[in-house]
Amino acid sequence: MRVRGVVMENGQKTLNDLFDGKKIFKVPEYQRAYAWGDKQLSDFIDDFKNQKLNKDYFFGTILFQETGKRGAYDIIEIVDGQQRITTLIIFLNSLLSLLTDCDKDTKELYLETYIKYKTAYKLEVLSEDNEFFSTYILENNDLPPDIISTPAQKKLLSAKKYFDAILESEFTQTQLKEILQKVENTKVLTYSVQDKSEATLIFETTNDRGKQLTNLEKTKSFMMYKTYIVSDEPEALLSNIQSRFSEIYKAYSNIDDVIDENAILQYNFIAYEEWKVTQQRKEYQIYMEMMKDKVNELIKNDKKNETLKYLDGYTKNLRETFSVMENILKSDLEEIMDIQVLGNMANFYPLLIKAYRFDGSEHKLKFKKVCRLIEIFSFRVYSILGGMANKGQSRLYTLAKEFNGDYDQLFSDLKIAIKDFSSDKDFVEALGDSEFFLNYSSTIRNYFFWKYENYLRDSEQPVAAPIPHSVFRTQNKRYKFSIEHILPQNPKEDDLKIITSKLKHEKINESFVETYLHSIGNLTIDPISANASKGNADIKVKNTAYFKKAPFKTQNELEGFLDNGKWTHKAIKARKEKLISFAKQTWCNY
């Protein structure tokens, strides 16, 4: 039987009592990296600012695990409360740095209590951030360029700058001393435990009943608690779960600016769990409830081994899912970036997660083929045929749930889905509509012609390098794409006669406008800056001054469509036919 140490007594104490002595508080590696932003920092400082000096202020409950000694120092891991503790230390460090109306010995005592005792810092954050934390946050050293290497380091520095600026600009020396006094007397409720099992029990029973945890934190808490409840010897699996969540938090810290963790949790459930869609509900939308019900049902039926197997498998899959999502979102694979450009990613992520994970090859060739079929689905169903954002979602989610590595079957299923939701006939007819320009957003128009430009660069001499996604996505007007009407929409009055003679029409009548002006054959891709410089110049000027020497093959080829040297309705029809042929080859030939 383990005997409880005497490092720290449970119960209520002041923050000054908590930090006093030879203690080093440590953020364990399985915890989330520092993540507080301006909203939490503002609330933190407002709580101290608004608290009356003679009134008690409660800092909350902090859960610790005693892990032994390092020399003369007691090492205490923060199981719950690390965001608050880390913020408190950054805040006090800024305050003490700005406090000048205080004698040297008193200030030194504060620094030894909260920041650094002898050579030991009172708080150690995650290992990958700890040197940065001590050197640049606590010691206030000048920050070299490009030194920040993790999202947490950026957050730590942001918190320091926030407190430095607020405390210096809005607080007098008297007010700084008052806040310091408030911090000393602030009450905190502590639980100190000896092992992971006890920590798990207390964490779950104190945190899943009202405290606002994220679903990811709730998942970790629930999984660890149920492991503790079911297993006779839970330490090994608890350590594995903690390790997995450490990897999850690290992976997510690299993508938390582009995707919500709840979305990834839901994608994981869709991909790996059993669920149904009924008239009443889609079970994957209540994934937390479904997961908990599954575990509780197993426990209720006394299926201990199945419960532990499920808990182990769920956390394994979750770790893999977050890792795969990081790889996908950071990927430079053309096939992934195409899908991202088109959007509706929520429909595809569960299938992408499993297709990526099951493809163990170095170059991910099978995964790339899945991406290619998804791009065809997305462009045809959502972009060109204007399907609702959730059209085909249940089919795609079912494919993700059922996929277990049979890529040939998956390829076949995706091809069937493409045709079920967008027939070749409907797709081609939509592209050939006389009002193509008016029917689609600039993103869709640009995407089509960007793909056509790269097709020409690859297939027609002289071969040229493709235009990369970075150029397609740029906001720089010098390079940003727009769609140019070859025959202008609003020709200048004094040019009307020239244009109509070029087109062998006495005038551009209503019938011509309806049939040809906005047709795909009368459009080309162009940078916004070049488009604006051309204005409404007629085809003769455009062709001789711009198109022949243009950097785009889409424009270079226009001369080949001229009808006896003129841009006529025949030229527009001929070019439309080539563009439709390209579309069939690209999005119908799979």
Joined together, the tokens standing for residue 334 give 């053309």
Q: Tell me what pLDDT residue 234 has.
A: 86
Report whether pLDDT(538) > 60. Answer: no
pLDDT (tens digit per residue) in 61-86: 788 888 888 888 989 999 888 899 99
Give the pLDDT confidence of 311-325 residue by residue, as tens digits: 999 999 999 999 999
pLDDT band per the 50, 70, 90 thresholds, residue 498 = very low
Q: What number of other Cβ atoms are within 10 A of residue 121's Cβ? A: 17
Q: Answer whether 350's CB lies under 8 Å from 271's CB.
A: yes
Higher pLDDT, 419 or 39: 419
Predicted confidence at residue 504, as pLDDT, reads: 40
pLDDT number for residue 543: 53
Q: What is the mean pLDDT of the chain?
A: 86
Confidence of residue 502 (pLDDT cuts 50, 70, 90): very low
Looking only at the bridges linking them, the beta strands covering 23-26 and 123-124 are parallel
Side chain identity, residue 561: F
Residue 187 pLDDT: 87
Q: What share of the chain is helix, strand, coil (3-state, %, to 5)?
A: 60, 10, 30
Mind giving me the DSSP string for 172-237? -HHHHHHHHHHHHH-EEEEEEESSHHHHHHHHHHHHSSSS---HHHHHHHHHHHHHHHH-SS-HHH
Bridge partners of residue 192, in order along the sequence: 64
Q: How far apart are CA 106 and CA 115, in angstroms?
A: 14
DSSP conformational letter for 563: B
Residues 415-467 pLDDT 10s:
999 999 999 999 999 999 999 999 999 999 999 999 999 999 999 888 889 99
Please say whether the beta carbons of 213 and 221 come within 8 A: yes
pTM score above 0.85: no
pLDDT at residue 95 greater than cutoff 60: yes
Give the integer Cα–Cα distance in Å for 550 and 203: 66
| Residue predicted with more confidence, 239 or 371 | 371
Q: List alpha helices for 104-195, DSSP H.
A: 104-114, 127-132, 151-170, 173-185
Interval 85-103 mean pLDDT = 93
Give residue 207's pLDDT. Answer: 52
How many Å apart are CA 77 and CA 26, to the nearest integer?
Answer: 5
pLDDT at 197: 62
